[in-house]
């Protein structure tokens, strides 16, 4: 068993992902998850592996079924490198339920990975990732633009804005508070600037 082997494997998978779900995203989720785990507990090996592998099966930026495909692919990789059945099963569960649509995280490890992944869509880095996703999906950035599809602003207001109610750990909720304030201020500034420039169609 070698984490270096896992890192080498995931780099290859993430090199084909969109910039919002690339290797740097997986590393940030890993680092945040380990930070949360240091305060909340959990099996660090399981948390690190699950965080690094959680998006390897994703095919498109807003795909809703990637958790299942990522979990299956992670099992194949971990078994190839000789990880014990207990670790593989725990990592599989973490990845399978890290998406909002895929069920309830039951273990502390799954809850930590879930929270860390959601935190990476908040604050400054979350806004940057949201704009990348909008570009990849040819979505408008804010409501009122003459483009079709749900805007980045609407995704934030209707989904990301409600993350506090969905996070499981106290540490994650504490980390979210400042990020949420920053993002809300950004959208308020954007809306004021759009209104002043006369480019809004709302």
Decide if 122 is inside a domain: yes
202 pLDDT more than 50: no
Burial 100-130 (b: 16+ CB within 10 A, else e): eebeebebbbbbbbbbbbbbbbbbebbbebb
What count of other Cβ atoms lies within 10 Å of the Cβ of residue 137?
16
Asked, for residue 172, whether it belongs to a domain, the answer is yes
Residue 202 lies in a domain: no
In a domain, 10, yes or no: yes
Is 147 inside any structural domain?
Answer: yes
Q: pLDDT per residue over 163-180, tens digit each?
A: 878 899 999 999 998 898
Tokens of 50: 């699950």
DSSP secondary structure letters along 57-91: T--STT-SSHHHHHHHHHHHHHHHTT--HHHHHHH
In a domain? residue 189:
yes
- pLDDT of 75: 95
- The number of distinct structural domains making up the chain is 1
| Percentage of residues of the chain with pLDDT beyond 90 | 53
Whole-prediction pTM value? 0.87
At residue 135, the pLDDT reads 87
Q: Looking at the domain assignment, is residue 62 inside a domain?
A: yes
What 68-76 contacts at long range (C-beta under 8 Å, 24+ apart), as own/partner pairs, is: 68/96, 68/102, 70/95, 71/95, 71/96, 73/13, 74/49, 74/50
12 or 71: which carries more pLDDT confidence?
71
Mean predicted confidence (pLDDT) in 96-120: 90
The angle formed by the CA atoms of residues 105, 110 and 115, to the nearest 5 degrees, is 90
pLDDT band at 4 (very low <50, low <70, confident <90, very high): confident
In this structure, what token pair is assigned to residue 117? 């992944």
Q: Calculate mean pLDDT across residues 52-75.
A: 79
Provide the residue range defining the domain that includes 144. 3-197
pLDDT of amino acid 60: 55
| pLDDT per residue as tens digits for the range 60-71 | 555 556 788 899
Domain with 138 in it: what CATH number?
1.10.3210.50
Would you say residue 197 has pLDDT above 90? no
Any domain includes 93:
yes
Q: Quote the percentage of the chain above a pLDDT of 70.
A: 90
């Amino acid at each position: 068993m070698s984490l270096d082997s896992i890192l080498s494997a995931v780099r290859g998978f993430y090199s084909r992902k969109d910039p919002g779900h690339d290797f740097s995203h997986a590393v940030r989720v890993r680092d945040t998850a380990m930070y949360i785990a240091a305060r909340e507990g959990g099996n660090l090996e399981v948390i690190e592996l699950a965080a690094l592998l959680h998006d390897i099966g994703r095919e498109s930026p807003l795909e809703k079924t990637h958790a299942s495909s990522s979990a299956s692919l992670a099992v194949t990789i971990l078994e190839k490198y000789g990880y014990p059945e207990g670790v593989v099963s725990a990592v599989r569960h973490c990845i399978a339920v890290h998406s909002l649509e895929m069920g309830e995280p039951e273990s502390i490890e799954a809850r930590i990975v879930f929270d860390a992944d959601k935190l990476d869509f908040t604050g400054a880095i979350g806004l940057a990732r949201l704009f990348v996703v909008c570009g990849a999906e040819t979505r408008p950035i804010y409501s009122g633009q003459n483009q079709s599809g749900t805007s980045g602003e609407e995704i934030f207001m209707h989904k990301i804005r409600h993350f506090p109610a969905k996070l499981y750990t106290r540490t994650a909720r504490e980390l979210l508070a400042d990020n949420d304030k920053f993002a809300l201020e950004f959208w308020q500034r954007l809306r004021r600037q759009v209104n002043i420039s006369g480019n809004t169609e709302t």
